[in-house]
Structure 1
């Protein structure tokens, strides 16, 4: 069996053809000079019962305007708080102040070391990292001259970070604006004595880290009791100085393209690096399938020669049958002859049995219920060199070790690349619990509530109408979610701002929507040119 080359599974070259004028910034221009005349006289804008003179936005990456895998000036200027602020200044508000990055490259450097990558751009076939070096240093302090910023959106912040003293030393985005090493995000926001606030996507990162790491345990979900306490406390502290504001709930993050783009069955038999290997692969797994069938037929591994096949994954929720595999193979009189096809002597049978047991004790092929994270697209079909070294250390020749180390084919994909159904259930349970708390606290305080959960769910199924556009969650072509598969596009953030205005109108008696003082979809694009630096 030859070692597979890297296999690309996301057909972004094909779907780029569908990336038409409705999503291309250069094609908006023809509409900008022609204003429709509906003949309808709109009512005069009123602020209702809200004083917008000091608007403070507190939250995480969505609040900051993070998009395309980075934070940069143009994205910050298209953040939903900045778009809201432009409407607030039309009544009694002041413009929000943004902790702008140095440029439109994105990312951070520490000295000469890049510690956070530049933003992504669309290269015609898929997302690609901008070929530039970030200029913003992690040690940069924007507060040194006494500057205060009213957009306190900090990428990466979890609920437990919002009131964490010393968070500035852990997160350079907050470190740039913190007025002291020990001030918390919440203290910073409250100290500005806001007259109106938005508290957005609190709880999102509490489940997102678990999901993006495939639920491998490296970034656990924040316990519900902990979230309940910190969320209630932060709302109490905010409303003690500012009774009017908007909060959002948490969407089902597994509806995002980071988890829905890579198919469970990307192994194409027409791929010249994979197709010719199928008979040998099926012969190898043919030695294991009788064992799998006896324990659980769903574990059997078969690659199709006529249609796309699922990848092989490690499923930690399965009973570990390593010992059964080892016992059955060692007891089989035909197993020594089986390993002879790989040039191994009969005396190597116990070694190979042990290796196969350890590798496939909790393996199966993926199903539609499994979610492969977006970065797995660059891993599937590649050789895991670390596994090669392990197998060689056990006595296998390098070529044979390589053949049994192909990610998702002969080597099950590790837990970090797959969000299993059991892990999806954990994410949903936590999200529902967070949202129950958010709704309860918002109602008790008389705050407006934006249902991000319902908005994203609708977008993932049928799309959300925004003026003449239907925004969906498809990567690249959907228009709602940016190239990193998690954060929104500029147009997506504009839609989000309008949802905030709707909630403000409904709760506080303003009429932003009825008076036409809302964001217009055509004023916001969905991509940023690589030339923008």
Structure 2
């Protein structure tokens, strides 16, 4: 009997123990192991970041305090601090609006925010007056030497930070705020800090200015012009000019004994700025389509007439023939400089055609298509009755010029990374991956390049969101760890927003 009672007592304990577990008894989580972080062979004690808007933390078409704080170099600096990294000074804007002025003239507009006033969300500048005065030069030095708008050759251009040159368009307003002197260069100010480690990401603007202007600028890989003082803001930088500038920059940075990491440039035509507006966004009813077809009938007949006398091919006639139909997916009409010039036969036979899926319409065209060229004439519809000018569309020929330039630039970056023994970040492949498949996060969500909702890009369609910058920061960390034997942890992208919501 005593043995039976003892057994029952044991069973009772077991039962109570199981019951307590079922009722949610607290079981302490295992204590995570302590990680000893190491810098490997790198010295992160004085980190300097050199580059353009992507380095500065530019997003939503502006530079502002929160964006600068969420720059990828600042994220890297937080990792470097775990292994002896020092302070990371940033030339902060005066507020979170992003607007800036000089001598009473606005030189930068406010950052973009989603507005729902029109019924569907669209980016508009946030309300308020920016308080950043370009003439109020900050006292440095600054570790983040990212200068929005800078091209490769700008980093070595004396006077690029001269306040007096900003309004005439001879200097950069962002660099003017923190340049050590009017005649200094971005590179000189970076070198003056004697960096022990650097990141260098430059070259995207050497292509981007041409691309965002719809290829309206000059392609200096074709013109052969090697003097960058003759370049305009929408021109495509000659690849030899880029190579010479980059080689000099890296050689100078390495002369301090610093290690570093360099990134190649992405395929700019894969960003939301070029993938959001479809080639066929025009809705028409049957009556309007009929009126338009009648209006373009003489143009189409003129093409056939010139084909009959062997002035253009049947293929070009087919490409240029303009036709509309009732429905929501009519293609816009555009001007294409690569078509045969027929105006010598008839001034009305301009280089017009309708867009195809091979054309890329710039993001800003979505508010222009459908507007009136002449407010007093309801038939003067841009993109329908009035062809879109060159700056609104990247044609296949212009896309090929961009692809050729990017290939040459990235080959140079890879070769110089090997030559100077630098870590290399393949930002091109990674951002293509974001565009094609997305990047999975720890909560099961996926960051994509879809405009406004994908979480990877900001509202300007060009620059990453803070979450996008976090993903890029981790890409830099991976390259640094692999090259220098460090074990930096990276950052958690979910800690950063995919879209600013005010």
**Structure 1 length-normalised TM:** 0.79
Correspondence for 1:408: 383
Structure index of larger Rg? 2
Correspondence for 2:288: 277
Aligned counterparts of 1:52 and 1:261: Cα–Cα separation in 2: 40
Question: How do 1:345-494 and structure 2 match up within 5 A?
Answer: 354=347, 356-357=348-349, 361-385=350-374, 399=377, 403=379, 405-468=380-443, 469-494=445-470
Please state whether the residue corresponding to 2:63 is helix, strand or coil: coil
Correspondence for 2:478: 502
Correspondence for 1:141: 137
Cα deviation code 1:442-474 (max 9, x no counterpart)? 011110011110011111111122433321111
Instruction: Give 1:438 deviation, angstroms.
Output: 0.4
Correspondence for 2:100: 108
Q: 1:366 to 1:42 in 2, by over 3 A?
A: farther
Cα deviation code 1:38-85 (max 9, x no counterpart)? 876464211100111000000000100000000000110000010110
Instruction: Give 1:269 deviation, angstroms.
Output: 2.3
Instruction: Answer yes or no: is 1:323 the counterpart of 2:344.
Output: yes
Correspondence for 2:331: 310
Aligned residue pairs: how many? Answer: 437
Give the number of the structure with larger relative contact order, counting CA–CA contacts within 8 Å between residues 6 or more apart: 1
Cα deviation code 1:198-226 (max 9, x no counterpart)? 001x1100000000111112611110111
CA contact (8 A) 2:159 2:184 kept: yes
Question: How do 1:55-74 and structure 2 match up within 5 A?
Answer: 55-74=47-66
Q: 2:252 aligns with which of 226, 231, 237?
A: 237
Instruction: Answer yes or no: is 1:267 the counterpart of 2:282.
Output: yes
Please state whether the residue corresponding to 2:459 is helix, strand or coil: coil
Question: How do 1:176-191 and structure 2 match up within 5 A?
Answer: 176-191=177-192
Aligned counterparts of 1:302 and 1:38: Cα–Cα separation in 2: 69
Which range moves more in the overlay, 42-51 or 364-373? 42-51
Correspondence for 1:21: none
Gaps of 5+ in 1: 1-35, 327-353, 389-397
Please state whether the residue corresponding to 1:139 is helix, strand or coil: coil
Instruction: Answer yes or no: is 1:209 the counterpart of 2:209.
Output: yes
Aligned counterparts of 1:268 and 1:89: Cα–Cα separation in 2: 56
**Structure 2 length-normalised TM:** 0.84
Aligned counterparts of 2:491 and 2:30: Cα–Cα separation in 1: 18
Correspondence for 2:39: 47
Please state whether the residue corresponding to 2:200 is helix, strand or coil: strand
Cα deviation code 1:262-283 (max 9, x no counterpart)? 110000125xxxx642111111
CA contact (8 A) 2:195 2:258 kept: no
Please state whether the residue corresponding to 2:482 is helix, strand or coil: helix
Correspondence for 2:172: 171
Aligned counterparts of 1:132 and 1:95: Cα–Cα separation in 2: 32
Correspondence for 1:98: 90
